[in-house]
Amino acid sequence: MSEIINVSAIAKVEKEKIRNRIEGYRAEGKATPTLASVIVGEDPGSVYYIDMQKKVLESLGGTMLKITLSQDVSEEELLSTIGELNEDDEVHGIMVLFPLPKHISEDRIAMKISPSKDVDGVNPINIGLLASSTGGIAPCTPSSVVEILKNTLGMLEGINAVIIGRSNIVGKPLIQLLLRENMTVTVCHSRTKELKNVAAGGEVLISAMGRPMMITEEYVGKGAVVIDVGTSEKDGKIVGDCDLLSVMKKARLATKVPGGVGTLTTTILMRTLVDLYDKSEA
Ligand code: NAP
């Protein structure tokens, strides 16, 4: 019997934990966890995302500082804004929405965010720590995938996971996070041969390609757990990488799009903010 994973229920439990932590700080007379989100230009997708972050964080008792800069802001000005946020003791996390305009180097911006305030794990120091130790900060999307798997399967040790996608923001950090759980990890990408066979070998299949509904039952092993990270637009609708009806013929459990991984990411971002807050207070 195939089932859709109830990601909203996982998000609800996480939110309650975060709310309790923030209430605890208030009760002790401590500062409020504050996220500074910087948006350059007015890309509707980014504006929607940042407004949603604000709503979620405020509903949990935190504060969001929304900093909007014009599309033609110089790289120097953006670096200087981040420098000020790095120095501001009332700011515990910093997020700069990517993609940035072409005249600004995302690498330089990522490097400027203080590693101790880097809430979405984009600074190379955090990327390196994630790969080399138990420290580091992981981006919220791969962290959400791990949270869903832990909630669904409990112990992940020894389970074979196949990831399709090797981007810096999803696939690569996910490799490190799954290895930390002692899973056996295979990573596929656009040059992988026999993708269907490799994917079908996973007890867990995670697709993060952005290829609308490409994953059908042929890519899925019998009884597998399928996590769909992809979000694309097709015929005016948001769809995932998976053709869910087809995938469910083989999968035991799967996430849907919309209403899947994306339902949890903002919550996990806020959990990271509160973790950073705790470290700053320690
Ligand atoms: P990306 O940077 O474009 O990376 C896509 C990856 O998929 C690449 O590694 C690429 O391989 C691989 N790929 C593309 N076509 C393939 C194919 N036909 N067969 C095998 N591999 C293929 O994308 P991203 O930023 O990681 O995002 C991936 C998807 O996740 C997008 O749909 C994005 O919108 C979504 N996303 C969702 C959330 C969320 O909160 N739900 C958050 C972030 C991203 P190569 O490396 O060989 O090019």
Amino acid 59: pLDDT: 97
- Asked if the peptide bond before residue 124 counts as cis, ω within 30 degrees of 0, the response is no
Q: Which fold has domain 29-114?
A: Rossmann fold (3.40.50)
For the record, the structure tokens of 74 come out as 């110089």
d(CA 34, CA 1): 44
d(CA 198, CA 209): 15
Protein residue closest via CA to atom 5 of ligand 1: 209
* pLDDT, tens digit, 9 for 90 and up, residues 138-172: 999 999 999 999 999 999 999 999 999 999 999 99
Domain ranges of the chain: 29-114, 140-262
What does pTM read for this prediction? 0.97
CB of 239 sitting under 6 A from ligand 1? no
d(CA 44, CA 47): 5
CB of 73 sitting under 6 A from ligand 1? no
Amino acid 237: pLDDT: 94
Residues 170 and 188 sit within 8 Å (Cβ to Cβ):
no
Q: Which residues contact 111 (CB under 8 A, 6 or more apart)?
A: 123, 124
Helix then strand then coil, % of the chain, to nearest 5? 45, 15, 40
The dotted CATH code for 140-262 is 3.40.50.720
